[in-house]
């Protein structure tokens, strides 16, 4: 049983730490501001873009901004939980990367929702920001998959094939005329 190298685990932790800090501050800032982050022109462009695509009014924009802020805070919490799980795994046990993968799915969904209006409105800065987050999520998911692949127990190649109990020993089990 091989393990993922220390550099791979460090990369997973660095990406989880990035999403914990950046998305945590974004989510907290948006949830604590009076306009749910719509007062920050740079961070709220994708909310205004989605709102214009769906024809949302002012109350709808506030609800959409609060929804995305809560999602960002949830992703930051999931990534922080994964970091604590990795630290626990240093002492004893093994880390569960499924927690982080669930958070990365949310990252992909939120980033795709923010890149879509950026492309629609031809805003290169918004597309670049979403593409960076999508790339980081893809790298972390790939490293988690590699880690899961290496942590599987090795299969025994010399195991005899299983036979069905209801068939005769001389007749193959796939015979259509029994």
Mean pLDDT of 102-113: 90
CA distance linking residue 64 with residue 2, whole number of Å: 45
- Answer with the residue of higher pLDDT: 169 or 100: 100
Name the average pLDDT for the chain.
82
Give the pLDDT of residue 1: 39
Give the pLDDT of residue 169: 60
Mean pLDDT of 6-24: 90
Query: Could you tell me which residues come within 8 angstroms of residue 70 by beta carbon, excluding any fewer than 6 positions away?
Result: 27, 31
93: left (phi over 0), alpha (psi -120 to 50) or beta: left
Which pTM was predicted? 0.76
Residue 175 predicted with pLDDT over 80: no
Greatest mean pLDDT among 39-43, 76-80, 99-103: 76-80
Residue 5 binned pLDDT confidence (cut-offs 50, 70, 90): confident
Of 29-33, 37-41, 98-102, 153-157, the range with the lowest mean pLDDT is 153-157
Task: Using DSSP, state whether 147 is helix, strand or coil.
Answer: helix
What is the secondary structure of 98-166 as a DSSP string?
Answer: HHHHHHHHHHHHHHHHHHHHHHHTT-HHHHHHHHHHHHHHHHHHHHHHHHHHHHSPPPPTTPPPP--TT
């Amino acid at each position: 049983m091989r393990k993922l190298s220390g550099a791979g685990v460090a990369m997973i932790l660095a990406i989880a730490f990035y999403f914990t800090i950046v998305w945590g501050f974004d989510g907290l800032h948006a949830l604590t501001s009076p306009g749910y982050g719509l007062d920050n022109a740079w961070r709220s462009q994708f909310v205004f873009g989605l709102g214009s695509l769906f024809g949302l009014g002012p109350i709808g924009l506030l609800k959409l901004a609060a929804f995305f802020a809560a999602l960002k805070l949830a992703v930051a919490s999931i990534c922080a939980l994964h970091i604590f799980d990795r630290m626990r795994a240093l002492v004893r046990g093994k880390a569960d990367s499924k927690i982080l993968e669930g958070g990365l799915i949310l990252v992909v969904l939120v980033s795709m929702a923010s890149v879509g209006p950026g492309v629609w409105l031809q805003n290169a800065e918004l597309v670049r920001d979403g593409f960076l987050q999508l790339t980081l999520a893809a790298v972390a998911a790939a490293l988690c998959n590699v880690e899961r692949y290496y942590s599987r127990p090795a299969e025994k190649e010399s195991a005899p094939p299983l036979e069905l109990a209801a068939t005769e020993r001389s007749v193959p089990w796939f015979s259509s005329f029994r």
